[in-house]
Amino acid sequence: MAVVLDTPVADFQAEATSGQTVKLSALKGQQVVIYFYPKDSTPGCTTEGQGFRDQYSAFQAANTLIFGVSRDSLKSHENFKCKQEFPFELISDKDEAVCQLFDVIKLKKLYGKEYLGVDRSTFLIDKEGVLRQEWRGVKVPGHVDAVLAAAQALNKA
C-alpha cells in the first residue's frame, strides 16, 4: 500500500550510512524529509544532495531530519556521502521496499530503451508520522528551497 497525503506513513526500517538503521516510528517528534533519487554520484543527484547539504542547518532549525534514498549499495552511499560531505544519512534500498512504499519506481526511457527506475521524488512527514506534502517528478533547480519552505511552515503550524 503506497503512502497517501494526509495519512500516517506505514512504519519501515532500512539500512543507512554510518552503520545506522532508520526506523520511521523512532523519529516521531521530528519532521522528516525523505528524498528519492536515481543514482549516487550522477550530476542531478549530486546537485540535489548538495542543495540539501547547503540548507541542512535551516532544516535542523525547522526540526526536520533529512534522508536520501536510492537503490545503491551502502558502500556506494558511504563514498557519495563522504565525497559530498553530506551531514545526513543515505538509505540503501536495494530490495526497493521503501521505494515501493512511496510508489517511486516508474517506467523510464533512456536512449529508446525502457526500464524501471526511481522517479526523483520528495516527501515531507510531520512530527506524528503523517505525510503532509509530496513532490513527484522533481526538477532539481529550486526544489530544496520549496521543501525547506514547506518544512518551516509545517514546523510553525
Catalytic center residues: 45
Cell of 134: 509530496
Query: Of all helices (H) and strands (E), which one includes residue 56?
Result: helix 56-61
Alpha carbon distances (Å) from 18 to 21, 80, 87: 9, 12, 11
Give the chain's length: 157
DSSP label at 17?
G
- Residue 70's SS3 state is strand
